[in-house]
Structure 1
């Protein structure tokens, strides 16, 4: 080690014509972090990443105007204090290109685009780890397959999911089998009689007539059956057949036709079992009052069934067909179990239950209080209306509701999970679908109060509340609340419009897909889970988050705007849901563009270089509080203003503070003004330091005096707790006007701002001693003869500066308003993650400066 130091020392002497006999060597000091502690080779102590931005816009004005591009470190939609760290313009002819620096802890940049009509959108884009290039396209780049009109996509999706619709009975090939005029046989002139000595028994092939002579006052009451084990008989009911006797059952093989004017009545339970068939002609009826009509056979209803209760399925799987003029009306409960229902007429019940049943509704299911879909499938082409609750059994494998184009489901509450496919209108007060069934909406969901889902696909579909005649718009759903992990896909100009969108579990995925852009419009978006929610793709989020969620909790990469501020118009089957912000008259941005970057940077120094100190990082603490500059149309900087504060002096010797600007030359400067030591007015010209290759401004030559101590008072300031000498930091300002076109914003990046400490003034023999942030070379007036002395291992040949033999630094830039350690408190003890950050070469605990043990100076 001694030989290396000696060699470096002699080399520096030769360069400076320095006689080592005139000045003693500086011995190394003990490592403040302990013997053997070192940072890995190549670690530069940087907490700031360089980023090259290339921002491309989708130009709706064919290059005629420029878009304003602003870059933020926090989301300006939700951080009212956010200020841009960079800005510029772009259009179809030129992207916005910039070089900026951001803290390594920042995972996203927020790019705000203001179009020529002054409409704003914000896009979040991930920052590459450790910096690099960011190509940001502020538009959806997926495959565009624009849909036109209603594509029946929900119906197709239901088929893909395995929900097979039963054959339509009004199709050309099946219609003859259900044509009332063709399927009801002619009543014979004479009725066949009973088998001799067997009342009620009919021979196979018999045609039995219950004639009009049987009235309600004198009805027919026999129980009919087919004699023997084979064959069938036909029964024509022209009068009244009374099956009121308790427990009466038609168990045989009868084909029953209730003719126009004919009627079966019952005042208690009665049953028609599966071996029979039942056809009710127009004008014919079944009236069951008081008990339950148990229907187990295939039935065609062209007339009516009017009952207190109906139970379909007595051991079979009957087909129930309701013709165009037919109806089944039940005052209490109608239960269809293991059946197929084809409704071309009217089906109503106070409580309508479908259990393992397939329903094809071509007309009206109405006047229901409650509907149960238990393992059943409803294919709706007509209207389904209920006043209470539509419930399912959470059986997502079979429970489904397929609502076709122009079909309607209207009611109060949907409860429990099922798969829902909608090409028509669903209108409810509350929709609670909390299982894992799929909701596929290609038209309109109108929800007046609360909407809950798990898996949702919108294809030119909308979720809103009612239409307001007062405001002439679709109102938002008051609450969308989901406590399960949700998966949402939106495409082809779909929209969710709500006052409150709350997710209570995670992870959640909301993705915009192909076609015209889709929209989530939420006055407030709330996450109650600690997991991750991502919103991305061909989508605009219009609204506000309940709080500024961290990126690990909310990852939004689609376009975002304030509520009612998006330029996008969204139109679904129910018309224009969102008209879009029309903006003002198009124009270019006003120049100069003012960038006001309020990012805080703390420069913290040890003053003992080239030997180690106590590493409390408080000998000089200076912050850069704000940088403001005016940017010309050509992208160059006009007037640049730097505001800073000398925050603390934790040293007992005289120290100075200066700034070396590495990105421009003094010849590019028109005027230099400032507030620095001895200068108290913004209008007072100051000078760059003489004999410097780079522009250098000295903030102060005596930090103690500048911060407020009396002359020659070297007491600590703002490094001891509750000390009477503590005081407010002292502010300084530097304002530079540049020649137009000479200096770009990238020339003023924080990595080109070299704030340094003067720990020993120059004398007649020796240049001044400077302490710089790791990696920055001293100014021309700095003493390089101390390179390689003490603990230092700087080398001009290797462009290695202010790093020790253990790769430790004397000065660091911390990209935040840093709470520095109290006097005599080693930073590694105060900030327990500091050691891990250093020894990992900056890969771990990048935010080490956010967690301390309280032994810090509190302003």
Structure 2
């Protein structure tokens, strides 16, 4: 109840009975005093109004607090007091094997291998992506997307959530396929951690004095630089849109160089990388010759146009993007790891060298494999000759493909490893030295050639351990292997209800009107917490325990990603106020769209609304005798409110999403008091709000966001856990959660775990009410 507004109503409307029914004893006392003093001066009446406005709803003596610390916070523009953010996922399909049949896309917030619970699922085809806007806790910075095809095969991609819009294109196999085989590991998908800047410079002459020096070079013009780093150190180059040229004076030992995105770096001299040195390129690298004993990493574009390209013993070349080497006879004695597209003019793998190819490896002329480790997980394309000399082995791993124009000599082995059959294919000539020499094909492999090879031709063993002649092996065509081979298998998994979603991925396999479950934040661990102050439009005490609720929502969609049903479960955890507070939730749906509404006792759609508004309860004091906010006091049980309804001509899932939607509290007394609605920061009121209250007292809705103060404070917040420990009665949030102010003043960028971190520097547990529970 808000006495100042009640008294105004009383004076204007003479509604004495309503006032007497609602007011506390202090208000009644003041009313009697004012009635007895009606002939006194207007100044006395104004004084009485001021005293009444300052009275507190929670007891007869408490006054509205002046929260100096909280109101002194400088809140940055655009901050919405959310511990979550809405992320739009756009997941397209590049797998053409099944024409227009539906694939299933599932989104996880943890590795499905350890936590196989998807927060969202839907269908996608080659023509239509799966799009979803999901509420993601700010503490989570990555997601996993799994695509399951109609044949039951699946691929996964890990996405970094660096913005509110993320996208991925999923083919028929993982881009980094079979990372557990042979010597591959998960580090292939990670990038190097760059040290923080120590010294910033734009000078053309740079001298690094010690191994711990970190120089960050920036420039707004094209520039030639001379660098000295004889004692090591790190040089980071960031000049977007500009070309930075290393001059003739580049003296270094133990240096680490990082080239930023959109920055072009040229070397006038040969690029020599010494042992222990690192050159990491995320922009565009242009060089002539290369001699490397260290580590060269390419995450952008790199071109080496010289006649010499030498990867010496102990060197490492990692290519994750696009690289071209134009040397005629490069010397490869080190290790190459390729997860992007790399093109050699010619390539000779000498003794001790190694290749791990996970994407596209192209040789324009001659590929020679000597005594080396040559692992191909995806595609090797040779536009000239392939030589496999004595002691050399080409490993084709789990559905890999090696295509060559000619094959002139084979004294080594081509070995198909893994359960899926790989393919070795020649499109030109097969020389006599292949037929007559002792080389052979082995394992899970098909040889597809222009010249027939028999098992014991000329007393030579050409096939061993399951390798056969044939050209029918199905090799997937995708972003890495743009050639592919064969025809996709047509065997599909069962779909009992015929909705186009295979049973094993259909959450409702016997109901063609439903297909997928989509869950609100933290659904399977109790859901999220909504904590309200009930003083709007007055400024509250910000103990955030006047009404404490937990919720979880389930949105059911059909095979076309249309929402067909919503289920909700809300729990009243605490009710730390004497107001007759009610609670409801508004959905962004026309009221008439909801059908077959079912709910627990007392829960119902609200009359007089144009949108769907579900009222959970009208008076928290009828639900809980005790407040659950006082120390050393017995607890009132958690009260649970459930509802469900079907949707007729419902919206597409991307338009609806799944979240708290628009929860609010209100004064549960009838008549004018229903108009006192309190929503989360920036959320719209319902049709039944008393609009005349906007812009009064502490409310700044007419000039700023809805339900915000002039200093951008909210009257409610959402916390993405169900076990939020709210403060004891009369204890402010700043006094109990010690990083709350840092989080708020940073616009939510710092201390995103302010509510969940249990460290003593994050919370004062003596001021926090023990966890009541989530009401699961």
**For the pair shown, which has the larger CA radius of gyration, 1 or 2?**
1
TM-score, with length taken from structure 1 = 0.45
Q: Which has the higher helix share?
A: 2
